[in-house]
Amino acid sequence: MSLALGIDLGGTTARAAVVERGSGRIVESLKATWVDRSVAAVVRETAGLVNTLLSAHSGVRGSIGVGFAGMLNGPVVVNAPNLGWRNEDFGTPLCAAVGRPVQLVNDLSAAAWGEYSAGAAKGATDSFTVFVGTGVGSAIIANGALVTGANFVAGEFGHVKLMAEGGRRCGCGQDGCLEAYVGGARLELWMKEEGLAGTASQLEALAEAGDATARRLYDFAVGHLALAIANQVTVLNPGVLVLGGGVLSRCPGMVARIRDVVAQRSTVASSVLKIAMASLGDDSGLVGAALLS
Give the binding site for Zn ion (CB under 5 A): 159, 170, 172, 174, 177
Smaller CB separation from Zn ion, 15 or 159: 159
Task: Check: CB of residue 103 under 8 Å from CB of residue 63.
Answer: yes
Q: What are the residues facing 174 on neighbouring strands?
A: none
In the complex, what is the shortest distance from the CB of residue 200 to Zn ion, in angstroms, rounded to a whole number? Answer: 16
- Residue with smaller CB distance to Zn ion, 146 or 170: 170
Give the integer Cα–Cα distance in Å for 240 and 263.
13
* CB of 135 vs Zn ion, minimal distance in Å: 9
CB atoms < 10 A from the CB of 148, how many? Answer: 16
Cβ 240 to Zn ion shortest distance, Å? 26
CB nearer to Zn ion: give 89 or 156: 156
Q: How far is the CB of 204 from Zn ion (least distance, A)?
A: 23
> Which amino acid is located at 79 in the chain?
N
Nearer to Zn ion, 13 or 174 (CB): 174
Q: Report, in Å, the least distance between residue 163 CB and Zn ion.
A: 13
Phi, psi of 67, rounded to the nearest 5 degrees: -85, 125
How would you label 78-90 residue by residue, b for 16+ Cβ within 10 Å and e otherwise? bebeebebeebeb
Burial 179-206 (b: 16+ CB within 10 A, else e): bbbbbbebbbbbbeeeebeeebbbbbeb
CB of 100 to Zn ion, least distance (A): 35
Question: 45 or 179, CB closer to Zn ion?
Answer: 179
State the nearest-atom distance from the C-beta of 170 to Zn ion, in Å.
3
Residue 58, burial from CB neighbour count under 10 angstroms (0-12, 13-18, 19+)? exposed
**C-beta closer to Zn ion: residue 21 or 186:** 186
In this complex, which beta carbon is closest to Zn ion, that of residue 26 or of residue 182? 182
Least Å from the CB of residue 159 to Zn ion:
4
Task: Tell me the β-bridge partners of 15.
Answer: 8, 31
CB 218 within 8 A of CB 211: no
Choice between 78 and 142, CB closer to Zn ion:
78
For residues 172 and 154, give the distance between their C-alpha atoms in angstroms, rounded to a whole number: 15
Rounded Cα gap, residues 209 and 206, in angstroms: 5
